[in-house]
Structures are given as C-alpha cells and as structure tokens.
Structure 1
Amino acid sequence: MTKLSLQALNRATLDRQWLLERRDVPALDAIEHLVGMQAQAPLAPYVGLWTRLTNFHPDELVKLLEDRQAVRGSMMRATIHLVSSRDFLAFRPLIQPRLEREVYQNTTYGRHRLEGLDMDAVLRAGIDRMTESPATAVQLREYLGELWPDREPAALAHAVRCLLPTIQIPPRGIWNKGGNPTMTTANLWLAAPTPDTVPDPAPTAGADSPVEALILRYLAAYGPASVADAQTWSGLTHLTEIFDRLDLRTYTDADSGRTLYDLPHLTLPDEDTPAPTRFLPEYDNLLLSHANRTRFISKATRATLTLQDVLTKGTILHNGQATALWRQPKSPKSQAILEITPITPITPQTWTTLKTEAHNLLTFTTPSATHEIKRLDQ
C-alpha cells in the first residue's frame, strides 16, 4: 500500500474540506458535503461556510434555517450540528446508540438518576409538551418535574433532548439574533411523522445501507481516514465490518503505520500544494473528526496546548497547520476587534498574511465597522 506522509494527509483533507480553494456552490451543498457542521457555538457555521465558499452571505444560511431546509440538532458525538433536514432525518437514527450512551452513562444526569424509570412514558410526555409548543430546557424540566416529582427534573429533560430527535429552532442560530435553545422534534418541525416518510440522504454511489452511505460521505469530506477516525467523528462503534464490506482504496499512514481508507475514484493533491491561510470557527469539525489529529496539529503544539484550548476559540490554519487562535470580543458596533494568539512561532511575513485574512473575516462579520487586529502573545 502507498504510504502517505502527514503532509500528504494534510493536503488531501484540506482539499476535501474545501480549504485549499473556496468553492462557488450553494451553502446547502456545502453543509451536505461536510455531512454537517458542529454548531454548539450557534454562529460558528457562518464562519465555517465563509472560509470555504466564495460570495457566502449570512442571509443564505438564515433562509435555510427559517425555510426548514437545514436544522440544528444532536448528531455526531452527541453534539449540536447544523445539517440539512434530509440528512438529519436519514442519519439521526444511526446516531441513536451514541445518544443513548450520552444519557445512561452521563455522570451528571444519567446512571442511578434514571434507574427504574419508565423511559417510554418520559419520552411520550416530552413529545406531548413539545406538541403544545416548542420548549426550552427550563420549560421541559418544569413540565416533567411535575409528572415525576421524585426524580431530578434536569435528568428527565436531558433524556428527552437526547433520546428524541430534537432540534433547536430559530431564532437560535440566526445571524445577529439569539435566544435560549428552544426545542421541538423533527417530526413536528419537518412534518415527518413515520419512518416511511423519511427521505433518502444525498445519493451515495456504492452504498447499500444508510450506515454505508454515512461512511462513504465521511471519507469524501475527511479522508483518507482510519476506522478509528470514523468512529471518533461519528461517535459510533464497531465500524470495522462496515469498512470491510465497502469497495475502498487503502493507504498506510507513514507516521503511525495505520491503515487508511478512501474512495477509490478520488485522487490526492500533490503534498507540496500551497495551502492558503484559513480561519476556522470554534469547534470546527476539521479538528474533531480524526482520532489522530497530527495532520493539522503538530505533536509539539499539542504538548503545549490541550485540544480544549484549541477548540474553544477559532483556529487559524497557516500552511495547513494550526498556527494561531482567534476570537472576536464584544465591542461597540462602530468598531470590530479581532484578537490573534500565536501558538507556534511565526515570522513577520506570516503575521502580515494572518492580518490580511483577519481583515477579510471582519469585513464578513462586521462590514460597517472599523477594524483593529490585536496580537496577544502567550
């Protein structure tokens, strides 16, 4: 098998992620290509789409959410993701085992707090409450707590949020708006009352089942990748047998010796392909979707920073590597400040490049404000 260096893996995945060259496609196509975008920071996908697409405007995603073509709900790794509505309906059932683990193994809300509980009755009650109107977590706790006064209301609400296909409806996730997460079910929001009405996901050649389609879609956006990588991304287990029955090309990771899988029809870019500077939002899936993240975060960087340090702020890729962190603090409407904290040594030329893209980002997020770029060295 062909051996792939970390540099080759880096460029291959950047290419799949549309980070080597911005694409001129609709936002919905990008969301489906990426098999969703992590969205626990509600506005992060807007930056994630801006950094991957030409001429993206926030109104495009706002319309998708308000027209119910895209939704925000619990998906991969039991975290909130922005996905197309048809992908949520098709793939959300596959993620159910991960969400069940989130409920029953959760040290805060699960375990003994749910023992002996008629969970079917709790879920029916949750559906009844959300049928009346979409509900916040507080409203769910109040409603369920009255029905099960001997149980912890927060644990009941957490179980309903995870075990039912709940989604967070607008204005949560709407650009320049906000509000507490308000939930309803996909059946209520998307009018899909039975499994028979669930549409197929985006067509995937070579897939005979939804789980096979999910893996092929993952490889198209994040490959080449190992079985462990796919399990890290999805939160699912026992995927080896799925990989074994698919027609895939194999490579060897030159750094670790792992077997990597890929779609047979896809070619890899030259590992010396230039990689432009790109600003990723907090929790971008590029940095969360592999068990071994050294293709983007060097071992030296990981030795000085935890993954949480990297993910809770935006990340700047320079030459394909995590080079600095960024955040846009609150400031007066007339002024936009962007703070950059280098996490690797950077040259004056690199700093100039980072500042240029930072100004581009501020032009996107706050087009009418004056810009100020601050460097915060550790």
Structure 2
Amino acid sequence: MLTLRDLNRATLARQHLLSRHEGDVADVVHRLGGLQAQEPRPPYLGIWSRLAGFERDDLHAALHARTLVRATMWRATLHLVTAADFAAFRPVVRPVLAAAARRFPEVDFDAVVAAADRLLAAGPMTFNELRPRLLAEFPDAYDRALGYAVRMLTPLVMEPTEDRWSFPREPSFGLPGIEPTPAGPEALIERYLAAFGPATPADVQTWSGLGGLRKVMEGMDLERVADFAGRQLFDLPGAPRPGGDVPAPVRFLPDFDTLILGHADRTRVLAEEYKGRVATKNLRVRAVYLVDGFAAGTWQIKRSGKKARLLVSPFAGADLGVLEEEGTRLLAFAEPDAVTLSLEVADTV
C-alpha cells in the first residue's frame, strides 16, 4: 500500500523535483509531457526548478530552433512541448479541442479552418490581425468565435521573438511546418504515468482532457497498486517509487505549474484545505513553494527599480531561513539585473 508521502515522493521523483535533471532543456520538457504556458515566463521558472545548470538562453534557443514549441495542447490550454510531442499528441487531443470549439455552434468550422490555413500560409499573424480577415469572409459571424475556432481546430504554434521570455504581450501564431505523426492513447498514458504516476484514469483525464481511458489502461501491461485510501492506481513497471522517507528539498513552482494541475486528486502535493488559496475564482493558479514535498505557501516576485523581492504567503508558520537559499537563487535567475535581492513575508495571500 502506498501512503500519501509515498505518492508524493514518487511524483516528485518523476517531475525532477527531488533532484534536478542532468540533461538538456528539450529532454526535461519531454519527460514532463510539456509545461503549461498560459504566460511566457512560468515555463522558464518551472524548468529552472527541474533542470541542473539551466540558463534562459537554453530555452530561448530551443524555441527559435523549433525543438520546442508553445501551442494549444492539453485541456485546450497553451503548453510548452517538444516538436515531436506536438506531432504525436496534437492529433490525439483534437476531440477535446473540437468539443471546446462547439461552444460556438453557429461557426462553419470546416470553412473557417480552411480560410485560416490559406491566410496563415502567407505568414504568421496575431489574432488581432487574423480576426478582421476572417470576418471579411464570414461577415455574419462573431469575430471572437472565429478566432477561438481557429485556435482550437487549426494546429498553430506561437512565433518566438527576442523578448526576455521569448514571446511578446501580443504574440503571432503560425502554421507549424511539423508533419503529424499521430500516437495512440496508450502512448499518451505511458507518458503521463512516467511524469505523474502512479495514478488513476481520472488523473490522466484531468491532465489530458481525454475521457474513456479506464478501459485502455485496464488492457495495458501496467502495474496495479493500492493507495492509503483504497484506490487502485496504475503505474509503469519499474517506474521510480523512492518511498515517503526520502528527503525533499525546497522547490519553487511557477503559476499554472503542471504538477499542481496534473491530477484529479491533488492532495499528493496540495492539501485540500489550501486548494482555495492556490486556484482562484478567475481560473488563475498561483505559484507555490514546496517544503518537505508539499505546497507550503504561495509566492510572487515584486520589482522596484534595482530591487527584487520574493514575497511569500505561507499557509501556516513561515521560516524564511528554510526558503532563503533556493529563493535567492530563483530571484537571481528571474531578475538577473537586480542589484538587491530579498525574501519577505507578504501581508496577505
């Protein structure tokens, strides 16, 4: 039987949060099955917490080389994924994206997608540039519905720039130029368990957005293990499960981190009583820090002139000494031109 701490340590090991991965940036993104990328900066910070010797230019170069792409993927949200995973899994999640697009049933999806493909063949555009062009061809449609349908149904990638976090406030989207190589649901499940397991079918569905996976998992050559709540979990044979007594270092996870969003039951990392302090009503997922493997508070960076402050909002008592070394390193990475770095306890969450 796996205890809560056993589950915690198994997942942290696969997320490279017990010890940083020794390798390159594309490898760690592949191992994680991608990182949620609603905003440009969080993937940089999420990789920094997981990859030894990571430098900002490593990710910047991989994006410009199209080794990594930022695109709509899991749960119809923006993710940073490898180009190979985009080719393999973007077709797999198409039903999820098509279902999301159906919120606008008045749209002629096939015609709009064909028009977008034709328009974008001339080069990348922002959606503020693309929507008026689509509206000229579909004058009776709602322009936002046209843009949303394209975002869901046309495989697009964001075009990186020379901005600090590789993307501007209003990014351009373009055709990927990546040949699809569709994978099956079994490959998706294996990749999920390698990054998040042991897990239930509901966990895989929460991460991917795909339903109907229990029957697929039951037909696969997977280990079955029981947890402390009596649930049956699935896992890859030989996958790391180091045990709940293994030490877990302090780690800072960014907004929308894949670890916080990767399970139907998040208690292996985030206690139920703190869930409302992390996931907000406007669908934001706050940055958290881990102490002994579990979310112990939220954090944010405040910049004023040459001073950068890491403001922490603990769920319980705060010991800044525990956070100081890792927090200062995080600040130095995120704000490299700051002269003064400090950690402080925020007045409110």
Q: What is aligned with 1:78?
A: 76
Deviation digits for residues 259-301 of structure 1 (CA, Å, limit 9, x no counterpart): 1010112241121111100000110110101000011111232
CA contact (8 A) 2:260 2:266 kept: yes
Deviation digits for residues 320-366 of structure 1 (CA, Å, limit 9, x no counterpart): 1111111113432x2222211112333xxx32111221111011122
1:258–1:311 Cα change, 3 Å: farther
Which residue of the other structure, out of 327, 337, 349, is the alignment partner of 2:309? 337
Alignment of 1:232-251 (within 5 A): 232-251=206-225
1:238–1:17 Cα change, 3 Å: same
Which residue of the other structure, out of 236, 256, 265, is the alignment partner of 1:263? 236
Which residue of the other structure, out of 139, 142, 167, is the alignment partner of 1:149? 139
CA contact (8 A) 1:223 1:262 kept: yes
Q: What is aligned with 1:203?
A: none
Verify: 1:374 aligned to 2:347, yes or no.
no
Q: What TM-score, normalized to structure 1? A: 0.87
- Supply the AA of the counterpart residue of 1:16: R
Q: What is aligned with 1:204?
A: none
1:57–1:335 Cα change, 3 Å: same
Verify: 1:318 aligned to 2:291, yes or no.
yes
Q: What is aligned with 2:161?
A: 171
1:75–1:220 Cα change, 3 Å: same
Which residue of the other structure, out of 184, 189, 193, is the alignment partner of 1:215? 189
- Indicate the SS of the match to 2:302: coil
CA contact (8 A) 2:320 2:343 kept: no
Alignment of 1:292-371 (within 5 A): 292-302=265-275, 305=277, 307-308=279-280, 312-332=285-305, 334-346=306-318, 350-369=319-338, 370-371=340-341
Give the C-alpha shift of residue 174 in structure 1: 5.3
Give the C-alpha shift of residue 172 in structure 1: 8.2
Q: What is aligned with 1:205?
A: none
Structure 2: gaps (5+ residues): none
- Indicate the SS of the match to 2:121: helix
- Supply the AA of the counterpart residue of 1:45: P
CA contact (8 A) 2:70 2:157 kept: yes
Verify: 1:224 aligned to 2:198, yes or no.
yes
- Indicate the SS of the match to 1:21: coil
Which residue of the other structure, out of 127, 145, 148, is the alignment partner of 1:137? 127
- Indicate the SS of the match to 1:101: helix
Aligned Cα root-mean-square deviation (Å): 1.8
Deviation digits for residues 4-32 of structure 1 (CA, Å, limit 9, x no counterpart): 11111001100110000112110110000
Verify: 1:275 aligned to 2:248, yes or no.
yes
Partner Cα distance (1:271, 1:59) in 2: 36
- Supply the AA of the counterpart residue of 1:337: R
Identity %: 39
1:288–1:129 Cα change, 3 Å: same
- Indicate the SS of the match to 2:267: coil
Partner Cα distance (1:375, 1:53) in 2: 27
- Supply the AA of the counterpart residue of 2:175: T
CA contact (8 A) 2:301 2:309 kept: yes
Partner Cα distance (2:168, 2:40) in 1: 9
Give the C-alpha shift of residue 173 in structure 1: 7.5
Partner Cα distance (1:166, 1:76) in 2: 14
CA contact (8 A) 1:78 1:102 kept: yes
CA contact (8 A) 2:14 2:240 kept: no
- Indicate the SS of the match to 1:4: coil
Q: What TM-score, normalized to structure 2? A: 0.94
Which residue of the other structure, out of 209, 216, 227, is the alignment partner of 1:253? 227
Partner Cα distance (1:289, 1:319) in 2: 19
- Indicate the SS of the match to 1:132: coil
1:150–1:66 Cα change, 3 Å: same
- Indicate the SS of the match to 2:329: helix
CA contact (8 A) 2:40 2:166 kept: no
- Indicate the SS of the match to 2:311: strand
Partner Cα distance (1:306, 1:282) in 2: 9
CA contact (8 A) 1:314 1:327 kept: yes
Q: What is aligned with 1:31?
A: 29
Q: Which moved more, 1:244-253 or 1:172-181?
A: 172-181
